[in-house]
Amino acid sequence: MPIDPDDWRLAVAHEYLQGRSLRWLAYAPPRQSWNHDHCDFCGEKFMVEGTAGTLHAGYTTEDAYYWICPVCFDDFRELFGWTVTRALDHDYG
Protein backbone atom coordinates (compact mmCIF):
# COMPACT_ATOMS: atom_id res chain seq x y z
CA MET A 1 0.00 0.00 0.00
CA PRO A 2 1.40 3.44 -0.88
CA ILE A 3 2.42 5.72 1.97
CA ASP A 4 0.06 8.62 2.65
CA PRO A 5 2.10 11.83 2.26
CA ASP A 6 0.20 13.17 5.29
CA ASP A 7 1.32 10.25 7.51
CA TRP A 8 2.01 11.84 10.92
CA ARG A 9 5.35 10.01 11.13
CA LEU A 10 6.59 12.12 8.21
CA ALA A 11 5.75 15.44 9.91
CA VAL A 12 9.41 15.92 10.85
CA ALA A 13 11.94 16.29 8.03
CA HIS A 14 14.03 13.13 7.74
CA GLU A 15 16.36 14.07 4.87
CA TYR A 16 19.33 12.89 6.94
CA LEU A 17 18.02 9.32 6.55
CA GLN A 18 17.53 9.41 2.78
CA GLY A 19 19.49 6.68 0.98
CA ARG A 20 21.24 5.48 4.15
CA SER A 21 22.63 2.03 4.74
CA LEU A 22 21.03 0.46 7.81
CA ARG A 23 21.71 -2.63 9.87
CA TRP A 24 19.63 -4.74 12.26
CA LEU A 25 21.14 -4.45 15.73
CA ALA A 26 20.34 -5.24 19.34
CA TYR A 27 20.00 -1.99 21.25
CA ALA A 28 22.86 -0.92 23.51
CA PRO A 29 23.17 2.54 25.01
CA PRO A 30 26.03 4.58 23.54
CA ARG A 31 27.31 5.54 27.01
CA GLN A 32 26.59 4.65 30.62
CA SER A 33 24.52 7.76 31.34
CA TRP A 34 22.19 7.02 28.38
CA ASN A 35 19.47 4.40 28.82
CA HIS A 36 17.25 4.59 25.75
CA ASP A 37 16.64 5.90 22.24
CA HIS A 38 13.51 6.41 20.16
CA CYS A 39 12.44 5.50 16.63
CA ASP A 40 13.14 8.58 14.54
CA PHE A 41 9.69 8.27 12.98
CA CYS A 42 7.12 7.08 15.51
CA GLY A 43 8.94 7.59 18.81
CA GLU A 44 8.76 3.93 19.91
CA LYS A 45 11.29 3.43 22.73
CA PHE A 46 14.41 1.26 22.41
CA MET A 47 16.01 -0.09 25.59
CA VAL A 48 18.19 -3.01 26.57
CA GLU A 49 16.81 -6.55 26.66
CA GLY A 50 14.68 -7.25 29.69
CA THR A 51 12.98 -3.85 29.81
CA ALA A 52 9.26 -4.55 29.44
CA GLY A 53 7.21 -2.59 26.92
CA THR A 54 10.17 -1.48 24.82
CA LEU A 55 11.93 -2.61 21.66
CA HIS A 56 15.26 -4.35 22.15
CA ALA A 57 16.51 -4.31 18.55
CA GLY A 58 15.86 -2.36 15.39
CA TYR A 59 17.34 -0.81 12.29
CA THR A 60 20.07 1.71 12.85
CA THR A 61 22.58 3.72 10.90
CA GLU A 62 26.13 2.37 10.77
CA ASP A 63 27.12 4.66 13.67
CA ALA A 64 24.09 3.47 15.75
CA TYR A 65 22.99 7.09 16.15
CA TYR A 66 19.57 6.96 14.45
CA TRP A 67 17.12 4.14 15.25
CA ILE A 68 14.11 2.95 13.24
CA CYS A 69 11.56 0.46 14.50
CA PRO A 70 10.62 -2.54 12.30
CA VAL A 71 7.16 -1.14 11.48
CA CYS A 72 8.49 2.22 10.29
CA PHE A 73 11.31 0.46 8.44
CA ASP A 74 8.80 -1.67 6.54
CA ASP A 75 6.58 1.34 5.84
CA PHE A 76 9.32 3.72 4.68
CA ARG A 77 12.09 1.53 3.26
CA GLU A 78 11.13 2.17 -0.34
CA LEU A 79 10.37 5.87 0.13
CA PHE A 80 13.78 6.53 1.70
CA GLY A 81 15.76 4.09 -0.46
CA TRP A 82 17.37 2.26 2.44
CA THR A 83 19.72 -0.64 1.96
CA VAL A 84 20.41 -3.20 4.67
CA THR A 85 23.88 -4.45 5.52
CA ARG A 86 22.70 -7.30 7.76
CA ALA A 87 19.98 -9.96 7.77
CA LEU A 88 16.35 -8.88 7.88
CA ASP A 89 15.34 -11.14 10.74
CA HIS A 90 12.80 -9.20 12.76
CA ASP A 91 12.78 -9.71 16.50
CA TYR A 92 10.10 -7.31 17.60
CA GLY A 93 11.18 -7.51 21.24
pLDDT in tens, 23-48: 999 999 888 888 899 999 999 999 99
**pTM of the entire predicted model:** 0.85
pLDDT in tens, 35-87: 899 999 999 999 998 888 899 999 999 999 999 999 999 999 999 999 999 65
Tally of CB atoms within 10 A around 27: 21
C-alpha 76/C-alpha 12 separation (Å) is 14
- Give the mean pLDDT of 5-19: 92
